[in-house]
A and B are shown apart, each in its own frame.
Chain A
Amino acid sequence: MAIRRTAEPEEKVEVLRIAAPETQVVATPESAPKRPVLNTPKKILPSGMSEAEAIERAKGGDGGCFEALYGLHKRRVYSLCLRMTGNTAEAEDLTQEAFLQLYRKIATFRGESAFSTWLHRLAVNVVLMHLRKKGLPEVSLQETLEPAEEDGPKKDIGSQDQVLAGSIDRVNLERAIESLPPGYRIIFVLHDIEGYEHNEIAEMMGCSIGNSKSQLHKARMKLRDLLKVTRVERAASKR
């Protein structure tokens, strides 16, 4: 079965065969057998095939469909890895690892949740496992539980500046998130960007729900400080 690079459709076809010798490989969506539709959003791949169909075929060892799923989800998985680690090289390695695990585990996907939800949870686990191996979460979690005086969010009593509304652009927000201490950053990314609930984060991180809530609040306060500094610097550079 042929695999064509997603980003370079005109490139010479590279051929890979994924070890599933008994799988009936179907070349075109038109000739594909009718399969029950999984409980996933109806995303349509460039080939015209639905995501659910590509998942079913990838389960059977269809490398082209696996690559199509990679093309569909690589940005979100990579962005998740990048935001959680703040490091491009690590994010690329972790994206690779997440999709390798996807390949090994895709047959266990039963469609009980959306495929993207399942894949992103898998990717989060890959990143958290990596960070645990590096020893970062323990350190940063402790830091965020008991932040140093100069590092923690400050009470905002008696000072009033302009509110942030309307002054944040995507680039500045991304930069500010990147410069958060790791423990703050992970919780913020998981909750405010990826949309996980505190109970899910607590389970994944091995901390209490209260701890997750407290760290999220500290992360937002820290971000606010960082964004205000950015705004002051930008204003100064315009003078």
Chain B
Amino acid sequence: MNCAEFQRDLPLIIDTGGIEEQEEHLRSCDVCRGLVSDLRYIAEQAKLLIPMLEPSPKVWDGIQEKLKREGLVKPVQARRSGPA
């Protein structure tokens, strides 16, 4: 198996591992080994990306405003119970 043949099946190899012939090529080819290593590394790192960013306060303000405008929110005097 050469590099072109190996890389043609790369998506499958990354996801599920290769068949014996592909594994053998991988053991003997630094270029393809580096490629597989990089692609697996990228996928692993992506899984570790955590949602760090916070939307600005205007997003919540906009939600409140729209709910009011649509009549889904009632003014204070309509409340049945007192404020917490």
Find out whether the CB atom of A220 lies under 8 angstroms from the CB atom of B42.
Answer: yes
User: Within residues 131 to 185 of chain A, which ones have a CB less than 8 A from any CB in chain B?
Assistant: 155-165, 168, 170, 173-174, 177
Chain B min CB distance to A189 (Å): 8
| A220/B59 contact (C-beta < 8 A), A1-B81, A82-B53, A100-B67 known | no
Q: CA separation between A178 and B2, bound complex, in Å? A: 34
B15-59 vs A, Cβ < 8 Å mask (1 yes, 0 no)? 100000000000000111011011101110111110111111111
A63, chain B: closest CB distance, angstroms? 7
Q: Across the A-B interface, how many residue pairs have beta carbons closer than 8 Å?
A: 161
**Residues of B in contact with A, size category:** 35 or more
- Give every chain B residue within 8 A of A160 (Cβ-Cβ): 30-31, 34
CA distance A162 to B4 in the complex (A): 20
Q: Nearest Cβ distance between residue B82 and chain A, in whole angstroms?
A: 8
**Is A85 engaged at the interface, CB distance under 8 Å to the other chain?**
no
**Which A residue sits closest to B43, measured CB to CB?**
A192
User: Which single member of A70, A163, A227 contacts B60 (CB below 8 Å)?
Assistant: A70
Whether A79 sits at the interface, judged by CB under 8 Å, is yes
B1 on the interface (CB 8 Å rule)?
A: no
Q: What's the interface size class on A, roughly?
A: 35 or more
Tell me how far the C-beta of A194 lies from the nearest C-beta in chain B, rounded to whole angstroms. Answer: 10
Interface of B: prevailing SS: helix
Q: Is A96 an interface residue (CB 8 A)?
A: yes
CA distance A237 to B42 in the complex (A): 24
B77 nearest CB across to chain A (Å): 9
- Contacting residue for A13 out of B35, B37, B55, B83, CB 8 A: B83
Residue A74, interface by CB 8 Å: yes
Report if A216 contacts B (CB, 8 A): yes
CA distance A78 to B66 in the complex (A): 18
> A165 to chain B: which residues have CB within 8 Å?
37-38, 41
Cross-interface CB contact of A75 among B48, B53, B78, cutoff 8 Å: B53
What would be 18 A-B contacts, judged by CB atoms less than 8 Å apart? A5-B60, A13-B83, A17-B73, A17-B76, A18-B67, A70-B60, A70-B63, A74-B60, A75-B54, A91-B55, A157-B7, A157-B31, A159-B31, A160-B34, A161-B34, A163-B38, A192-B46, A220-B43
